[in-house]
Structure formats: structure tokens, C-alpha cells
């Protein structure tokens, strides 16, 4: 089966592309919006699928939803979601700006169901992207092969799949059943024997690592849980009202216009405000539990700071980690049953984006202020990148903070780039 040609195909139904779908419905002509398609590889929409823990809260205000910072009167706001689901009073009574992660996930699915023009299709994984050429050889569109055997052709492509998980090379030779990255945690942890006296090593010192440690500790009352980190200890996010202003959409202009060296310096400083800390509530919870264990002499939760993991190998079903102490250079071995990686994501572009760059014949994409990949003169097809533009647009590009405004900027650019001829007249995309 082949889909008719569409104006825009957005790959991935995460927050970025859902915010874009909302902006298209609110800002674009209806005949354009009806010819926009969002595809999702899963059968539903789940936010942070691998770390959707029942107690975890967002670290960002509910006002930074898919639309409010662009259009506070929108029917797609988080507030309206609460109202429509009869939960507004409960949320207000909680007296918090930070919703539970599960609540945001439900909100995203609600938004997808509430779209009336832009279409969302589930169970369609992007398998391969190719180009569409005119008789003169110009690249005028994109052809996307999907996992259900169908083919979609689009004038514009939007990639919103996020970065690939970072699995350090030292762990890549281990048995895959013994290694769990945070992106897989929520369903992989359910496969473990929760009653067994497992030895669990969690690698990392930021929020995802701390969440895996605490969830595993609670789920598995007989497990020994160790957290391994290069830093001297866990620390809070280094945030304040002043540093939070660097996450304002207005800061994107300042960052984008700065010299490359200045951008790199700011990025390095800002990483401590997002990637290198733990929320105060979780950090205090873990420390209090460790204190109680020392008090009772029943310790099964510990920290191993200031070490590098210099070797990782399998001995039968056992994982053996060699730890090198920063202070002494001494090597010790830690034997465990499971290694959990809170090691974040690759800083390189996702494999899908690199594949598109190879198609066009460029080493890497430069991105316009409106998030449009800059193409050779022989390419009239549009390609927009969401969530992978930290080097050009700032650290907030991979976060929720700028979603709503960014979506509006992309729609403005899309409409400005439309040819003067009539829009495509393809029939609606079938279910």
C-alpha cells in the first residue's frame, strides 16, 4: 500500500512533533494541515517510555506544555487537558508546578486524539528514507518506507526522533541481557526476579541513574544496589532563576547569533544545569535511606564515587567491573548480576538524520534559525530537525522548554517556503 503524497511527514510522535502538529492546526490553512502526517513506531504515545516510573515528576513547569508559551488560549493546553479529564481541581490542590511524568504522558496521548486535521498513525516505523527527483534531477521530496510495508511521499520531512542512547564502548562486549540502558529500564526491570538477591550496579551520577537506583532498591527488597560515578558524589542541579533564563525561547536568538567558540563555552557551562545533577527531593530521599541503613546495620544501598570503570567482562553469567580509584590509582573488582546505564545519549546526530545527510551528499547539516536543514541548491525539498540542535540553538533545544515556540517558528518557515502554485491536492491519508 502507498500513501498519497503529503505536504509534511513528521517522524516520531513525541512532544516535539506533537507540538508541531498543534501549531499546524492552529496556524496553517486547513487544506495544508489535512495533508500533514505524523508517524509513530509504537502503538501508542508514551513520554520517556523507558523511565515512566509511577512516582517520577517532571522537572519543568506544566506551563511549558506543547502550546501555552506560543498560544496561552489554545484548547490543546495542559490546563484544558486537566479540565477535559475532570482533574483540574485535584491538580490545583496538589500545589505544584511539576506534574507527574505519567500525567504528561497521558496529556500527550490526549493531544494526539484531539487533533482534527493533522493525522497521527501508529505502528509505522521509518525503515528507510529516499529522495524524489524531478526530471531535471532536482530533489523535490522524500520517500519514506514504513514497517507496515507502505510508502509515504512528502514535500517536507520533520525528524523528531531524539538522539540515540549512549552505551559506552566498554560495556558493548557484555551480554545484552545483563545491561539495561535507562531508555529500556521501565520494561526491562520487569523481567528481573524481584525476590532474588541480585547485585545491581548503576552507572552514572545524574537524574536517570538516581531514579533507576531508587526504583530498583524499592522493587527488589533483597537486592544489593551500588551506584558508580566519576564525580566525588551526587549533586543538585545547578539552577536558579538566573540560569533558567537561558532556557527562555528568547535566548535562542542570542545563542544562534553568537560565534561558535562562545556557543561551545556556554553549552559547557549549561550542561551542569541539566545533565549533571539530581533533583533535591530524590537526592535527599536516597541519602536519608542510606543514613537509616547505617543506623540499623542493614546496608544494601551504597555509593562508589571518584572511580573510572576501566574494564568490564563476563565470567559466566556474572559481570565483573574493574574500578580504578581517582585518588590512589588502585584497581578493585566489583562483581554484579546487572549493570544499569544512566549514561545519557549520543551527542552525534541520530542515525536517521545522518542517513538523510548521506542521501544529499553532505557531511553534516547546518540548520537555519527556523530549524530547517540547509540544503544544496539542487534540493527544494524541506527537512527540519527537532531536538538535536544544541550546538546551534542552545541546550534547551533537546528539552520541553522551547517546544511550543519552536513549533510556531517551523510552521512560519514552512508556510513562507510554500510555492505560489496551489497546495497539493492529494486525498486524505487512509487509516
Q: Please report the pLDDT score of residue 3 as a whole number.
A: 59
Tens of pLDDT, residues 378-412: 999 999 999 999 999 998 998 899 999 999 999 99
List, in order of start, the domains of the chain with CATH numbers: 6-164+346-416 (3.50.50.60), 169-237+276-341 (3.50.50.60)
Asked whether residue 251 carries a pLDDT value surpassing 70, the answer given is: yes
Give the per-residue SS3 of the chain: CECCCEEEEEECCCHHHHHHHHHHHHHCCHHHHCCEEEEECCCCCCCCHHHCCCCCECCCCCCCCCCCCCCCCCCCCHHHHHHHCCCHHHHHHHCCCCCEHHHHHHHHHHHHHHCCCCEEEECCCEEEEEEEECCCCCEEEEEEEECCCCEEEEEEEEECCCCCECCCHHHCCCCHHHEEEHHHHHHHHHHCCCCCCCEEEEECCCHHHHHHHHHHHHHCCCCEEEEECCCCCCCECCCCHHHHHHHCHHHHHHHHCCCHHHHHHHHHHHHHHCCCCECHHHHHHHHHHHHHHHHHCCCCEEEECCEEEEEEEEECCEEEEEEEECCCCCEEEEEECEEEECCCECCCCCHHHHHHHHHHCCCCCCECCCCEECCCCCECCEEEECCCCHHHHCHHHHCHHHHHHHHHHHHHHHHHCCCCCCCCCCCCCCC
Asked whether residue 259 carries a pLDDT value surpassing 60, the answer given is: yes
Mean pLDDT of 350-371: 91
Q: Please report the pLDDT score of residue 242 as a whole number.
A: 87
Q: How confident is the model at residue 426 (pLDDT cuts 50, 70, 90)?
A: very low
* Residue with grid cell 523511565, as numbered in its chain: 51
∠ CA 183-186-187, nearest 5°, is: 100
CA–CA separation, 17 and 23 (whole Å): 10
Q: Please report the pLDDT score of residue 2 as a whole number.
A: 55
- For residue 3 the three cell numbers come to 500513501
Tens of pLDDT, residues 16-36: 999 999 999 999 999 999 999
Q: Please report the pLDDT score of residue 306 as a whole number.
A: 97
Asked whether residue 300 carries a pLDDT value surpassing 90, the answer given is: yes
28, 411 contact by CB (below 8 A): yes
Q: Please report the pLDDT score of residue 419 as a whole number.
A: 65
Q: How confident is the model at residue 238 (pLDDT cuts 50, 70, 90)?
A: confident
Q: Please report the pLDDT score of residue 273 as a whole number.
A: 75
Q: Please report the pLDDT score of residue 240 as a whole number.
A: 84
Asked whether residue 112 carries a pLDDT value surpassing 50, the answer given is: yes
Asked whether residue 427 carries a pLDDT value surpassing 80, the answer given is: no
Mean pLDDT of 168-183: 95
Asked whether residue 430 carries a pLDDT value surpassing 60, the answer given is: no
Asked whether residue 217 carries a pLDDT value surpassing 60, the answer given is: yes
pTM: 0.92
Tell whether the torsion through CA atoms of 44, 129, 149 and 140 is positive or negative.
positive
Q: How confident is the model at residue 271 (pLDDT cuts 50, 70, 90)?
A: confident
Q: How confident is the model at residue 352 (pLDDT cuts 50, 70, 90)?
A: very high
Indicate the average pLDDT of the chain.
92
Q: Please report the pLDDT score of residue 428 as a whole number.
A: 34
Asked whether residue 88 carries a pLDDT value surpassing 70, the answer given is: yes
Mean pLDDT of 289-306: 96
Q: Please report the pLDDT score of residue 425 as a whole number.
A: 31
Amino acid at each position: 500500500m502507498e500513501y498519497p503524497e503529503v505536504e509534511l511527514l513528521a517522524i516520531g510522535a513525541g512532544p516535539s512533533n506533537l507540538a508541531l502538529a498543534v501549531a499546524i492546526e492552529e496556524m496553517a490553512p486547513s487544506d495544508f494541515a489535512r495533508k500533514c502526517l505524523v508517524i509513530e513506531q509504537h502503538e501508542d504515545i508514551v513520554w520517556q517510555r523507558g523511565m515512566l516510573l509511577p512516582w517520577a515528576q517532571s522537572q519543568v513547569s506544566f506551563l511549558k506544555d506543547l502550546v501555552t508559551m506560543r498560544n496561552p488560549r489554545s484548547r490543546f493546553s495542559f490546563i484544558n487537558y486537566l479540565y477535559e479529564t475532570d482533574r483540574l481541581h485535584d491538580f490545583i490542590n496538589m500545589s505544584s508546578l511539576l506534574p507527574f511524568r505519567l500525567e504528561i504522558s497521558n496529556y500527550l496521548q490526549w493531544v494526539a486524539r484531539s487533533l482534527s486535521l493533522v493525522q497521527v498513525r501508529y505502528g509505522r516505523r521509518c525503515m528507510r528514507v529516499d529522495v524524489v527527483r524531478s526530471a531535471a534531477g532536482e530533489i523535490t521530496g522524500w520517500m519514506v518506507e514504513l514497517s507496515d510495508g507502505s510508502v509515504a511521499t512528502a514535500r517536507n520531512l520533520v525528524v523528531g526522533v531524539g538522539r540515540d542512547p549512549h552505551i559506552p564502548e566498554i560495556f558493548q562486549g557484555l551480554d545484552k541481557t545483563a545491561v539495561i540502558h535507562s531508555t529500556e529500564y521501565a520494561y526491562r526491570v520487569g523481567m528481573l526476579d524481584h525476590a532474588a538477591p541480585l547485585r545491581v550496579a548503576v552507572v552514572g551520577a545524574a537524574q536517570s541513574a538516581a531514579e533507576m537506583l531508587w526504583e530498583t532498591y524499592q522493587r527488589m527488597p533483597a537486592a544489593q544496589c551500588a551506584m558508580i560515578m566519576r564525580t566525588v558524589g551526587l549533586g543538585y542541579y545547578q539552577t536558579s532563576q538566573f540560569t533558567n533564563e537561558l532556557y527562555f525561547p528568547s535566548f535562542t536568538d542570542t545563542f544562534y547569533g553568537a560565534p561558535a567558540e562562545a556557543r561551545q563555552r556556554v553549552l559547557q557551562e549549561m550542561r551542569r544545569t541539566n545533565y549533571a545533577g539530581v533533583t533535591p527531593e530524590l537526592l535527599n530521599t536516597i541519602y536519608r535511606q542510606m543514613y537509616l541503613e547505617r543506623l540499623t546495620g542493614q546496608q544494601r544501598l551504597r555509593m562508589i564515587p571518584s572511580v573510572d570503570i576501566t574494564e568490564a567482562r563476563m565470567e559466566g553469567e556474572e559481570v565483573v567491573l574493574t574500578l580504578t580509584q581517582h585518588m590512589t590509582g588502585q584497581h578493585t573488582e566489583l562483581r554484579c548480576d546487572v549493570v544499569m546505564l544512566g549514561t545519557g545519549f549520543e551527542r552525534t546526530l541520530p542515525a536517521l538524520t545522518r542517513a538523510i545527510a548521506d542521501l544529499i551528499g553532505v557531511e553534516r547539516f547546518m540548520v537555519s534559525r527556523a530549524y530547517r536543514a540547509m540544503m544544496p541548491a539542487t534540493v527544494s525539498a524541506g527537512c527540519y530537525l527537532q531536538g538535536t540542535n544544541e550546538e546551534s540553538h542552545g541546550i534547551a533545544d533537546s528539552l520541553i522548554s522551547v517546544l511550543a515556540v519552536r513549533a510556531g517558528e517551523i510552521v512560519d518557515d514552512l508556510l513562507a517556503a510554500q510555492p505560489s502554485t496551489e497546495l497539493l491536492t492529494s486525498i486524505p491519508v487512509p487509516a
